[in-house]
Amino acid sequence: MSAVLDDDNAAAEPGARPPEAGRDPLGGSVAVARDRGADMKHLHEINKLSKRLHRLVGQAITDFNMIEDGDKVMVCVSGGKDSYALLDVLINLRRRAPVKFDLIAVNLDQKQPGFPEHVLPDYLKSLDIPFHIETQDTYSIVKRLIPEGKTMCSLCSRLRRGILYRVAGELGATKIALGHHRDDMLQTLFMNMFFGSRLKGMPPKLVSDDGRNIVIRPLAYVAEPELERWAAHRQFPIIPCTLCGGQENLQRVQMKKMLREWERLQPGRLDNIFTAMGNIVPSHMMDRKLYPFTTLQTTGVADPQGDRAFDGDEDCGPPAASPIRIHRDD
């Protein structure tokens, strides 16, 4: 007859061994339940993250008309977490998108030492989508022309961009999708402010300087920590970059550290700044090319965009808890 342990004073079955100290007398069922509860919580969080990523990417595509019916989108895949996540989300969105579009993944093998050439082809084959590997030895060019210790990004990015534009034309791609995210856009804004003396960010959509290619950034609304979590969950075969991304002396790396410290001290600050990038008031800046300061005249008619004698408290107080105009799950 089995012992019934109704409470702490219940008698043990004659001859039964007393439970060891620290051991669950119910055979580990409490621990199992605890583990099951943790698994369910993790699954719930991942489901929330997946829904948010897909919604934010879909929202960015809609807001900026990034992908249209009949488009052939060339997704640039470098082997980093961002481009993997971009391709992953676009594949899922294509299945239920209201418009039909094709995807082709493209990787530029720059012949950097130690680059595992088999990783991306093997991964892309497993997805059963068209892909193209473009091999160009830009690494040797950059190493030959850039002195040791200097950052390689400027030349590397120009070479890479020119090659990808050419490949897009050869493949018949109508859009080129890059994996830059919200934090990349913020870093670019501050780099241009601090070192370029201009208010210029990284646009979610642009036409290339030759007028032949449209570049889109569907991850524009997505924060980098969300992509880090998604990459860990999906276990993407990450390929470390030994060119641009591996240089600690990059100003972009310093910008990233600065912004993360801001977010740590003031949660929501990055969302505020990002929202501000889409709420520009030229009349309250100083660019004479964007606003006719020199020809301003009084009209006697109230202008809601005009300057007020006193700003309301809502304009001068601390930022709201959720200022960004993007729907998020909490």
- The string of pLDDT tens digits covering residues 201-234 is 999 999 988 899 999 999 999 999 999 999 999 9
Please give the angle made by the CA atoms of 183, 186 and 189, to the nearest 5 degrees.
155
Give, as one character, the DSSP assignment of residue 309.
Answer: S
Q: Position 289: which residue type?
A: K
3-state secondary structure of 272: helix
Please, how many CA atoms are within 13 Å of residue 319, restricted to the half-sphere of its CB? 15
Residue carrying structure tokens 């008619």: 301
pLDDT of residue 150: 60
pLDDT tens digits, residue range 257-306? 999 999 999 999 999 999 999 999 898 999 999 999 999 998 888 887 77
CATH fold of the domain at 44-276 = Rossmann fold (3.40.50)
Query: Maximum distance among all alpha carbons in the chain?
Result: 101
Q: Please give the span between the terminal C-alpha atoms of the chain, in angstroms, as a whole number.
A: 51
pLDDT of residue 319: 46
Q: Decide: 236 and 172 in contact? Cβ < 8 Å.
A: no
Question: Which of the listed ranges 39-43, 148-152, 210-214, 315-319 does the model predict with the highest average pLDDT?
Answer: 210-214
The structure's pTM equals 0.80
Average pLDDT across the chain, whole number:
82
The mean pLDDT of 13-27, rounded to a whole number, is 48
Please give the angle made by the CA atoms of 283, 197 and 176, to the nearest 5 degrees.
90
The mean pLDDT of 109-116, rounded to a whole number, is 80
Spatial distance between the Cα atoms of 93 and 54, rounded to a whole number of angstroms:
7
Residue carrying structure tokens 């993007």: 326
Pairing verdict, β 175-177 and 102-109: unpaired
Helices (H) and strands (E) in the chain, counts: 10, 6
**High-pLDDT (> 90) share of the chain, %:** 56
Task: Kindly list the distances between the CA atom of residue 85 and the CA atoms of 167, 206, 221, 258, in Å, as whole numbers in the listed order.
Answer: 22, 21, 13, 24
Closest by CA to 260, choosing from 250, 252, 251, 270, is 270
Question: Helix H segments across the chain?
Answer: 29-63, 81-96, 119-127, 138-145, 153-171, 182-196, 224-234, 251-265, 269-276, 313-316
Which structure tokens are listed for 324?
Answer: 């960004």
User: Does pLDDT of 322 surpass 60?
Assistant: no
pLDDT of residue 136: 83
More confident residue, 16 or 111: 111
Model confidence band, residue 324 (pLDDT cutoffs 50, 70, 90) = very low
Please give the angle made by the CA atoms of 64, 65 and 66, to the nearest 5 degrees.
90
